[in-house]
Structure formats: structure tokens, C-alpha cells
Amino acid sequence: MPPKTIQVKIPHQPQPIDGAITIPSDYTEEKAKNYSLVILTHGAGGDMNNDFLVKFAEALATDGILCLRFTCVSLNLAVRVKAFHAAIKFAQKSYPVQNVILSGRSMGSRAALQASIEAPQDCVGVLFLAYPLHRPDDQSNLRDKPLFDLCKPSLFVSGTSDAMNDLNLLRQTLKKMKHKDDVPPRFHFIDGGDHSFKVKGGKAANEKVTASVLAFCVNWCKQIFGIPTASGTAEEQSDEPLPKLSDKKRKRVSGEDGSLHVAGTDSPTKKSKTLESYFSKPKQHDSN
């Protein structure tokens, strides 16, 4: 049987929050402690029915993980964070699962980050979908400081053409972030992807990229939750063969110990490299 999605109202002031919980077909309240949950929200200007978020929720539930999506249209980060806490409280009462990962797209990932910092006991990891490290094409004011307070395992998914997340700046951010249990933050780059993870090549290319990214994210969540995967750990997963990286980009983003992965390439090998090597590149390739 396919996963089931139920529309819910999350208690909150001054008014309830619209939400949707997608649950595995075999979920029962009596066995809630055997399950895990991802709480997910959208970016500025969107809602919980964003196509990628809906597909992510369905992919998680298909693999036995609950997913609670919610809508908060406010552009005030503090309001978004309070909404996240309300969603967490609702989930704890209505779906008392074993572990929770917080996740969001763009501004929603900023809210997930802050919620995890304010209440670290409420989650076991944070998944960032297109974290906006800076304003579009403006790197004068980075949103990096809150990341340095994160003390949970994390995965960053970002397009290499994202105008709000310059890859060169990630080097400095990555090296400054805390490593939970000596596990560095993980990065999953989408070659040619923009802030919405869209790539050139039409519908077919984008569908393959989406499927690839969803598979990687689901397996990372399962790894954090301690759930066995069909093909081993998230580090051992292979993405779909599209899109291909150019030789120049392959040299630029080729970290291979599992902390960095590029959609559309072979899976990372087990050969360890230093963090410095993740971003090292010939001088002639300095431009992004």
C-alpha cells in the first residue's frame, strides 16, 4: 500500500498552522516508537505543497519514515522558528516517534537551524535544502554565524549555480563548523542546479536529478536514524548518471570521503582526503 497523507492543524497562536503528515502504510500508533520523523517546511514565498517537498515526504514514507510538512508564510525568521517549535510539539504529542530530523528549504532551512539550536534535545540532525548563505549575488553579509552553533549531524543540498550559496564561500563555512562526534557536515552538490535545484536539459533531466537527490537525502536520513538501507550507508549510494560534470568542475568539487557528493557522478570512494582538498583547485579555475 502507498503512504497516506493526512491534513492536520497544528496548534499555534494567533492561529493554527496548516500541516500535512505523510505516514508509512504500516504505521500504527501503538508502534510509534519504532519509527522516525522528518519535520519539513518551505522557503519564502512558497508553502508546504512545494513539489519537491511533497515528493520528499512521499519518498521518506515509502522508506518507512514519517514526514510532517507545514506552512508558515511569514517572512519574519523569529515567527518561522516559533512555527517550527509548534510543529515539533505537535509531533511529539500526536506522533511520538523515536527520533526527529529538522529540515527546510531556503528560508525554511534557516528556521530549522535556529529551532535545532534553541532546542537541541528535539532532534538528531538537520537537513538543509538550498540554505541561503547570502542574498542573491551579494556575499557582503553572510548568514554563517548560526551554523557555527549547530551541534548536530547535518547535510547541505545545494546547486552549483545557486545565486544564494557561492561554493567558494562554503570552504570557509565548512572549516569553521563544529563536527558532531568528529563527523563533518555533508554536502550534496547538484551540478548546474539553481536555488530551486533546477538544471538545464528539460523535464527528463530534472526528473532524474530530483530522483537522485531524493534518494540521497532519504538514505542520509536513514543513516542518521540508524535504519539499514538496501545498498549500505548513504556514503555508498550512487546517483543517476545525469547531469555530467565538466572536467574543470570535477577537479573543483571532488571530495571523496563521503562529506561531499555531487549529483550525477559516481558515488564517493572510501579514500580519505582532507577538508582542504574538497575545495582545492587550480588557480585558473577561481571563478565560480
- pTM assigned to the model: 0.82
Amino acid at 234: A
pLDDT in tens, 72-118: 999 999 999 999 999 999 999 999 999 999 999 999 999 999 999 99
Least confident of 8-22, 70-84, 246-260, 270-284: 270-284
Q: Which residue has the higher pLDDT, 207 or 240?
A: 207
- Residue by residue, what is the 3-state secondary structure of 83-95? HHHHHHHHHHHHC
* Predicted pLDDT of residue 132: 94
Average pLDDT, integer, range 228-254: 42
* Predicted pLDDT of residue 56: 98
Q: Does residue 180 register a pLDDT over 80? A: no
* 125-129: strand order across its sheet: 4-10, 17-23, 66-70, 36-41, 99-105, 125-129, 154-159, 186-190, 260-263
Q: Which residue has the higher pLDDT, 175 or 37?
A: 37
The mean predicted confidence, pLDDT, of the chain is 82
Q: Does residue 281 register a pLDDT over 70? A: no
